[in-house]
Chains A and B, each alone.
Chain A
């Protein structure tokens, strides 16, 4: 170590030689000036709390009984003295299993207009139409991949209906219903799935990885839970953006993703930075083949909220109206109290995980069927509307026929569209000037296409792209 230290001292003298004075190559962009803002810190001083207590928890009592000191759950305070407490965290719902308002629930509590309720149900009906048509299209090899939303229509559309169209959405991948609620066009939907020329995301990602700035829907990515801390940061930025103080971020994820480290990171960061974010967990019982019982041993995801000091609610995810009002209320609280809220929506993944999964390998078809019959978000919403005379069999039939036509026609159009031109493969890796190595590689591919483009396997693929790969010709020369 002595030798090393001596060497380091020698290097410190050499430092001067590599530290050259500022040269004329510097771009001067502004003059310096002195900031005179006063500190805005209002934090209390260390030691203000009574000695022997945890910071922030001065009410923590001391126990001397070792047995009484162990605990494994945090009970919501609303349950004090309530017999339901034995069953764990309660679930908020407004409708029963067949769509009738529960005893004590009034229309005022539901607080929804006919127009909005009908729009919700219509959008809920559109999802399975898209799902069945695209699921079959994948089975026929017309698209590469598909994930359906069967069984979660109530949770997704209900939550979307509880928000403003400008609230920012960070999704996992089973929330395309939010885009449909926001009137994302079916053509754009199909263009993404087919990787068509007019896909807003340039045909670069797998099907159902949507994104649209206009719809405040941040582009989906496959890595699970990465969007959770990002949503926390977005929430923090929103409250600091002039004119956006009335908006929140909603961040969707499944109960499986909640096991990722990013869940912990995001929840804690949103809470400590007091960011207005709604964390919306779709607890549908399965993460591909892993049942929730092998995902966690606590009381679902909701039980974790209080550990982060977060306002939390568990809601019946198949009760679209309860989900809507829970989200509305969560948003109001997130804004007025400047803090995140956790919503756990209990639902059931009726469909397979994806087109690459056959769920009958790990759960019985009978179990799925009984879920569909016993607790179906679509049936419940339909009965709610029918009871009020807002819906009938004729409308149901007409809507389904309309939706089917809409979806099939849009799919037909998307299927005929060209893919984005081939040169776009290289674009957008960096914003601004394309680095030389990428330009060189683009030239390399252009020369290869010139030589081998006529090969059947290449020419067939090239023909699927806009300009049939001819846009690459301009890059055969050095453009670096």
Chain B
């Protein structure tokens, strides 16, 4: 809002409605050495540009041995659920880009995080896909420095320390994780019988992964080596989701420390539905159930 008036229409402008065109165009701008911040209206519509992102942007530096690169390219796209977005206004797409060497993929969880990580993405010397949880656009409010600042990429953040179990997520589902922790400590009367007294005082370590690729293996592995238990929560379907990659890495690096199987919580392996959203997403109840399952294994 207001950027076009402030900086001029040659810097902030509309494009024709064409995702492959938007990303291809931005690649060309970055190739010449200008900073290009492209927006895809919804992450659900990034797929027409998949070829430009995967075959072109991600490989630009490697294939030319650094002669040409698009490090000054950042692609922003609203992602994740919004309550009623159904199939094409709800998707989490990070898993598709996690498999693409040469890209960076970032998901913030709050306004401070969004500003610091976006600034880092723009100045990073590699192309970045920056996915913004749209549910938080107007609901998340906090004090954000007006001054310029940067939060590091590829560094997860331990939001809440703990030593009994590691709960890992990014973007919107982190709020469901916090809600699950409240349910764990103070279960409502209706479900109290399912929450054993012994687990209610469990000390859960909550981690915000923040960067999906290249992800912070060190922070996650250190945490699971300490807690011996791990749950990964994301909204994308479970099969071949980001959780699969993390679970495989955790079992490789923490095999002797693990006291329970790594649990992956995601959307079911279906398209994102309209009226069934509450039962589709990994909401607080499902996360609570997974925590109990892991702690009582």
Q: Is A382 an interface residue (CB 8 A)?
A: no
Given contacts A11-B175, A226-B52, contact A261 B125 (CB under 8 A): no
The reply to whether B15 and A235 contact each other, CB–CB distance below 8 Å, is no
B residues within 8 A CB of A30?
Answer: 147-148
The reply to whether A229 and B25 contact each other, CB–CB distance below 8 Å, is yes
Complex CA–CA separation, A15 to B101 (angstroms): 33
Q: Is B189 an interface residue (CB 8 A)?
A: no
Instruction: Provide the A138-172 mask, 1 if CB < 8 A to any CB of B, else 0.
Output: 00000000000000000000000000000010100
The reply to whether B139 and A233 contact each other, CB–CB distance below 8 Å, is no
B68 → chain A closest CB, angstroms: 5
The reply to whether B28 and A22 contact each other, CB–CB distance below 8 Å, is no
Complex CA–CA separation, A232 to B20 (angstroms): 12
- Give the A-B pair count, Cβ closer than 8 A: 253
Interface residues of A, CB < 8 Å — how many? 81
Q: Is A104 an interface residue (CB 8 A)?
A: no
Complex CA–CA separation, A234 to B124 (angstroms): 20
Q: Is A35 an interface residue (CB 8 A)?
A: yes
Residue of A nearest to B146 (CB): A32
The reply to whether A26 and B102 contact each other, CB–CB distance below 8 Å, is no
A450 → chain B closest CB, angstroms: 21
B residues within 8 A CB of A272?
Answer: 15-16
Query: Could you tell me which residues of chain B, from 12 to 45, have a CB within 8 Å of some CB in chain A?
Result: 13, 15-16, 18, 20-34, 36
Query: Could you tell me which residues of chain B, from 140 to 192, have a CB within 8 Å of some CB in chain A?
Result: 140-151, 154, 159, 174-176, 178-179, 182
Interface residues of B, CB < 8 Å — how many? 89
B residues within 8 A CB of A1?
Answer: 84, 275
A residues within 8 A CB of B25?
Answer: 229-230, 232-233, 236, 265-266, 269, 273
B residues within 8 A CB of A69?
Answer: none
The reply to whether B83 and A5 contact each other, CB–CB distance below 8 Å, is yes
B residues within 8 A CB of A5?
Answer: 83
Taking a contact as CB atoms closer than 8 A, the residue among A28, A200, A202, A429 that contacts B147 in the complex is A28
Q: Is B270 an interface residue (CB 8 A)?
A: no
Q: Is B69 an interface residue (CB 8 A)?
A: yes
A residues within 8 A CB of B261?
Answer: none
Complex CA–CA separation, A264 to B18 (angstroms): 9
Q: Is B47 an interface residue (CB 8 A)?
A: no
The reply to whether A262 and B20 contact each other, CB–CB distance below 8 Å, is yes
B residues within 8 A CB of A429?
Answer: 61-62, 101-102
Taking a contact as CB atoms closer than 8 A, the residue among B22, B69, B116, B178 that contacts A17 in the complex is B178
Q: Could you write out 27 A-B pairs with CB less than 8 Å apart?
A: A4-B84, A11-B176, A15-B110, A17-B178, A29-B149, A37-B8, A39-B8, A41-B9, A200-B65, A201-B63, A209-B63, A219-B64, A229-B27, A230-B56, A232-B25, A233-B28, A233-B30, A233-B36, A234-B32, A265-B16, A265-B18, A269-B15, A429-B62, A430-B61, A431-B125, A432-B126, A436-B218
Given contacts A237-B34, A262-B20, 5 further A-B contacts (CB under 8 A): A4-B83, A28-B148, A204-B62, A209-B63, A213-B68
Q: Which 8 A-B pairs have the closest CB atoms?
A: A233-B28, A229-B24, A265-B21, A202-B65, A19-B142, A237-B32, A435-B214, A233-B25
Residues of B at the A interface (CB closer than 8 Å) are 4-10, 13, 15-16, 18, 20-34, 36, 48, 51-52, 55-56, 59-69, 71, 83-84, 101-102, 104, 109-112, 116, 124-126, 135-136, 139-151, 154, 159, 174-176, 178-179, 182, 208, 214, 217-218, 275, 277-278, 283-284
